[in-house]
Amino acid sequence: MNKKNTKRKYYIIGAMALAVVFVAFFLLRKNDKSTTYITVEKKSVVQSVLAAGTIKAVDTVDLGFERSGRVVVAYVDVGSRVVPGQTLIELDSSELQADLLNAQANLAEESAVSATDTIAISDAIANAKVVIADSFIKADNIVRESVDQFFENPGGGSSTNFRPQIEGGGSSSYFVVSFDDRVSINTKRKSVQKKLDLWKADIAIISDTEVEELLVKSQTYLFSVRDLVDEVSQIIFKITARDTNSVSIVASFKTDISTARVTATTILSNLVSAQEKLNNAKAGGTQISAPSGSVSAQDARKLQLQAQIQNIQSQISKMKIRAPFAGVVTKQEVEQGEIVSVGETILSIISDNNLEIESNISEVNIGKVAVGNIVVITLDAFQGETFLGVVSYIDPGETIVDGVVNYKVKVALGDVDPKIKSGLTANLTLETGKKSDVVTIPLYAVTTKSSGTYVQKRVGEGVQETTVTLGIIGQDGNVEILNGLIEGDTIEAGQIIPLE
């Protein structure tokens, strides 16, 4: 072999060696990855659903007149606060008042009411007023003294909670009431509070001509109170003492509610008696009747005049708009002297201390939401402040929004801050699940395949693909592990590839 061939051979060997070095360099560089690991820990996991909604008044109403007329006085303007039964706007009723006086005079002449009969009617009216006022006070006492001892924050809107407390054995315990029973009784307690407020307002403005009508309404108000007492009674009498220390407490509960039921019956009897006394006084002490199922011409005239009077009184009552509940006037569009038409909405009221938020939750998330979920609320109008609420209602039927299936959800606000107004936009974080002290890992460390979910668990010096069962996913990106890992395990979180 000559020197030229030998030199060529060395060149070939050198080129091959250089190629091997370059291949090794790139292979080593490709595999130069830094693997990170995570130690499995126990933490709290909070699952949430984000949504947006609008604050609305729970109670809202548009009001107008059932007959046309001229406005003689408007007592309120936009922004005015009103109470139940308060007169807001009044139409001219002078012609009707004259018709009423004429009809009453005709009836008096037709009936030839004696002075004795007049006194009897006056006495019956006075007695009815006393009975009505006494009935309200006793009914109110039934609720506040006998019933409200079983409630937390009774009459307090959305925070009212029926929860009889039994103390015994050195500690306090609560009788467990079913969710449906509690919702029913809470709703009934809030309804009764509204009826009591209306009853009180009616008494404050009662006139002699309205006594008979209020006697009937008072019985209706009392029926609501009695229904609440009956429902509470059914549950209280299911309670059994858990130990000797609570025997007297349970017995006291039952005695109180039994007394309340008896009192309610007595009140009703008094109202019925007052009504009968007034009816008899107006009829001259006897009921109008005639033989053979007919009435005399005079009696027929009396009935006709009585019907005419009642009709005129009804028409006069329609000349006033009264507030159906406590709230704030949001619309008032008439002035004194203006003529209004039948059915025209001239005034609107919303409740100012009973607000809720309406929101639409997509079908993807609605399965996570339940009545009673805590809600953290932020308002665009008050940056940096948070408020609390609770899911109070989920609409069973779907609502289509932009072609997507949603479900309407209502969130009851807690203690309403006076600065919160109807119509504000609210951002909601619904806490749909929370677990404490559970095994958690970051969700990004989990691999999902068609066969299941896996992590790379460190075993000795290597890693092993391990099947895991996932629980709830938290808002911070961590996920609960139900099976497959325990606290202290180490898993591969991923690899960091150096930049070229």
Considering the domain architecture, whether residues 51 and 20 belong to the same structural domain is answered as no
Considering the domain architecture, whether residues 248 and 386 belong to the same structural domain is answered as no
Amino acid (1-letter code) at residue 297: A
Considering the domain architecture, whether residues 366 and 482 belong to the same structural domain is answered as yes
Task: Report if residue 430 sits inside a domain.
Answer: yes
Task: Report if residue 162 sits inside a domain.
Answer: yes
Considering the domain architecture, whether residues 51 and 122 belong to the same structural domain is answered as no
Place of tokens 């809202």: 60
**Final residue belonging to a domain, choices 251, 283, 315:** 283
Considering the domain architecture, whether residues 12 and 129 belong to the same structural domain is answered as no
pLDDT per residue over 122-167, tens digit each? 888 889 889 999 999 999 999 888 888 888 777 666 667 777 766 5
What is the C-alpha separation between 28 and 184, in angstroms, rounded? 73
Backbone angles phi, psi at 4, to 5 degrees: -65, -45
Q: How high is the pLDDT of residue 297?
A: 67
Q: Any residues with CB less than 8 A from the CB of 200 and at least 6 apart, and which?
A: 136, 140
Considering the domain architecture, whether residues 124 and 20 belong to the same structural domain is answered as no
**Final residue belonging to a domain, choices 262, 283, 304:** 283
* pLDDT range class, residue 23, cuts 50, 70, 90: very low
Q: Any residues with CB less than 8 A from the CB of 198 and at least 6 apart, and which?
A: 84, 85, 221
pLDDT per residue over 219-274, tens digit each? 999 999 999 899 888 888 887 776 676 778 888 888 988 998 899 999 989 999 98
Considering the domain architecture, whether residues 51 and 24 belong to the same structural domain is answered as no
The answer, yes or no, to whether residue 115 has pLDDT greater than 60, is no
What is the C-alpha separation between 444 and 449, in angstroms, rounded? 14
Place of tokens 């329609």: 318
Q: Are 42 and 439 in contact (CB under 8 A)?
A: yes
What is the C-alpha separation between 280 and 474, in angstroms, rounded? 73
400 forms beta bridges with 405
pLDDT per residue over 56-72, tens digit each? 888 888 999 988 899 99
Q: Which of 352, 367, 351, 453 is nearest to 406 (CA)?
A: 367
The answer, yes or no, to whether residue 349 has pLDDT greater than 50, is yes
Domain extent at residue 18: 3-32
* Distance from the first to the final alpha carbon of the chain: 46
* pLDDT range class, residue 354, cuts 50, 70, 90: confident
Task: Report if residue 194 sits inside a domain.
Answer: yes
- pTM above the 0.75 mark? no
Q: How high is the pLDDT of residue 235?
A: 83
**Percent of the chain surpassing pLDDT 70:** 82
Can you tell me the mean pLDDT for 357-368?
90
Task: Name the DSSP class of 484.
Answer: S
| 115 or 375: which leads in pLDDT | 375
Q: Please give the helix or strand (H or E) that residue 397 lies within, else none.
A: strand 382-401
Task: Report if residue 83 sits inside a domain.
Answer: no
469 forms beta bridges with 483
* pLDDT range class, residue 89, cuts 50, 70, 90: very high
What is the C-alpha separation between 55 and 67, in angstroms, rounded? 34
Whole-number mean pLDDT of the chain?
81
Considering the domain architecture, whether residues 169 and 257 belong to the same structural domain is answered as yes
CATH number of the domain where residue 402 is located: 2.40.30.170
Q: Any residues with CB less than 8 A from the CB of 133 and at least 6 apart, and which?
A: 203
412 forms beta bridges with 356, 390
Q: Quick one: three-class SS letters along 358-381?
A: EEEEECCCHHHCCCCCEEEEEECC
Number of domains in the chain: 3
| 154 or 456: which leads in pLDDT | 456
The answer, yes or no, to whether residue 278 has pLDDT greater than 90, is no
Q: Residue 206 has which token pair?
A: 């009662």
Q: Any residues with CB less than 8 A from the CB of 386 and at least 6 apart, and which?
A: 376, 377, 378
Q: Which of 27, 70, 102 is nearest to 308 (CA)?
A: 102
Of the spans 164-168, 263-267, 324-328, 420-424, which averages the highest pLDDT?
263-267
| 290 or 175: which leads in pLDDT | 175
Label the pairing between strands 425-442 and 41-57: antiparallel
Q: Are 417 and 411 in contact (CB under 8 A)?
A: no
**Final residue belonging to a domain, choices 229, 253, 283:** 283
Task: Report if residue 342 sits inside a domain.
Answer: no
Task: Name the DSSP class of 91.
Answer: E
Task: Report if residue 340 sits inside a domain.
Answer: no
The answer, yes or no, to whether residue 18 has pLDDT greater than 60, is no
pLDDT per residue over 176-191, tens digit each? 567 777 788 888 888 8
Considering the domain architecture, whether residues 245 and 362 belong to the same structural domain is answered as no
What is the C-alpha separation between 445 and 377, in angstroms, rounded? 31
Considering the domain architecture, whether residues 25 and 51 belong to the same structural domain is answered as no
The answer, yes or no, to whether residue 417 has pLDDT greater than 60, is yes
| 152 or 439: which leads in pLDDT | 439
Considering the domain architecture, whether residues 119 and 51 belong to the same structural domain is answered as no
| 34 or 318: which leads in pLDDT | 318
Q: Are 287 and 231 in contact (CB under 8 A)?
A: no
Three-state SS for 390? strand
- For the chain, the 3-state helix, strand and coil shares in percent, each to the nearest 5, are 40, 35, 25
Place of tokens 């009077």: 309
The answer, yes or no, to whether residue 30 has pLDDT greater than 60, is no
Can you tell me the mean pLDDT for 459-481?
87
Considering the domain architecture, whether residues 19 and 51 belong to the same structural domain is answered as no
Q: Are 392 and 158 in contact (CB under 8 A)?
A: yes
Q: How high is the pLDDT of residue 468?
A: 92
Can you tell me the mean pLDDT for 326-337?
88
Amino acid (1-letter code) at residue 312: I
Q: Which of 83-87, 294-298, 333-337 has the lowest mean pLDDT?
A: 294-298
Task: Report if residue 380 sits inside a domain.
Answer: yes
Q: How high is the pLDDT of residue 406?
A: 92
